[in-house]
Structure 1
Amino acid sequence: MRRGLHIALLLAIAAGGHSLHAQATGGMAGAVVLDKVVGIVNGDVILESDVQEEMHFAHLEPIGVPTGSDSLQRAMRRLVSRTLILQQMKEQQQSFGITDAEVTKQIEEMRKSLPACKEYDCTTEDGWKKFLATNDLTEADVLTHWRQRMQILKFIDVRFRTGIRISSKEISDYYEKTIVPSFTKSGTQPPPLDKLSSRIQEVLLQEHVNETLHDWLKALRDEGSVQVLDPAYGQSSGSGTDTEEDD
């Protein structure tokens, strides 16, 4: 019941269109600012601070960071998708133990290859700390975020890779239609198919997983309740269901 009252209070804040400031009483000093609710996914609340944090985490991705309203909307779409996946993991009682050593190893690899890290030389501790400070991140934030990311990827791998079979014809077609023309265009001889077969299989497998995941997430959105309460964070239909697709 307390949780229900808490959600009702947050919804009231969102309906007001601004954050609620609770003045100090009973020894509290200053004002306490409660987050504005900007979305609800099957009862789970997404706060304005969640979106801001997600925008900071975008600096860890090997692609350009969007700016303006586009960055808000992309961050919201990622949060919605992640929330839907985490809800399914909980419902299906799927948990994956990831050790600190595994997370640290991946983060170290990311520090070596992340384009945005080059100007800071993130391979050094000083450079890494400067990069984090510039993007309003902490090492603890990154560790927690990356661990959850790895858990989600494991869930996706188990949930969608199982049962997918890539035929020899698919591999040969990809080689002839994609690999060979690419090498021909550059004026070089392509390696023989048998040398690239395993790599092509992995690429095709990932494509199948991505397609299946995309359709699965869309079905979860359609079947559930995904509401964006502030137009700045995305488009909503008349019923309040987010119609934007995930990136």
Structure 2
Amino acid sequence: MTSPGYGSTTDELIQHRRDVADLQRRIRNRRLQVAGLYGTPSLLALSIFAWIATKNTIWLNKDMPGSAHGAFLITAVVFAAASALQFGIEFTEEFWDWEDKGTSVSKLALDLELAEERRILEARRLTPSAVERQASYKERTPAEVSRLRKESRHYRRVHLWMQWLLFVSSAAITAITAWYDPPQPGKAALICLGFTITVITAATGYFKPRERAFNLQQTADNIEQHVTALDLGIAPYTQGDADNLELFAATVETMRVEQRRREQQLDQPHQGQQEVI
């Protein structure tokens, strides 16, 4: 029996991944359907109970306003219609079909486990050679560099917005204090600006967007440098193709591990960072 070629092997592995992703999507959809089936009638009962409780608590000895009656009535009608529609779709054939109608989430979860197990077994049987996997890893590296740069730009923008908000708030406090003497009616504005400055300062010190942006950009630049060196065949990639790919994969994985370690250090308190370092 001949072994499948690399193209057919890739197609089979991709198909298994698609099957797993499809089952994950179906489980999410089914959970939403079940939540609607049980949650909407519960909300209907809760709205009716709130209607009665409000009448007996606030308007016990007098008539309840028509606007309040109308609001509770509309809420109850909406929940009742939603419940009837969902039960009609689930248990009859007159409406359109839901995907996996009548299927339990536990059965779909079991199918997902079996699909993942099947994917693992097939991947073990159809796994290409180490050189082919390393070459594929190298082709995925530009996407990783783009992701790192995108996250770096995001944190850099967050840091800039925080800094500009701090600048504007600090200047506004000084301006409002000088303009209004006595402080009314600028007191409320001063309180809001002071609260904004406190929150932004605390968030900047806790989330450290500037440091995160710098680390992500540095990792992306280093990985891109190694990609260029591998393409050009310059140091340290001056050996054979197989050795170069192995060295490249090991180097990039080391950089990614170091990047994750730096992110974990940023999530630690200052004392915890010193202990980790």
Higher share of residues assigned helix: 2
User: Higher relative contact order by CA 8 Å / sep ≥ 6: 1 or 2?
Assistant: 1
TM-score bucket (shorter structure): under 0.3
Higher share of residues assigned strand: 1
Structure (1 or 2) with the larger CA radius of gyration: 2
TM-score scaled to structure 1, two decimals?
0.20
TM-score scaled to structure 2, two decimals?
0.18
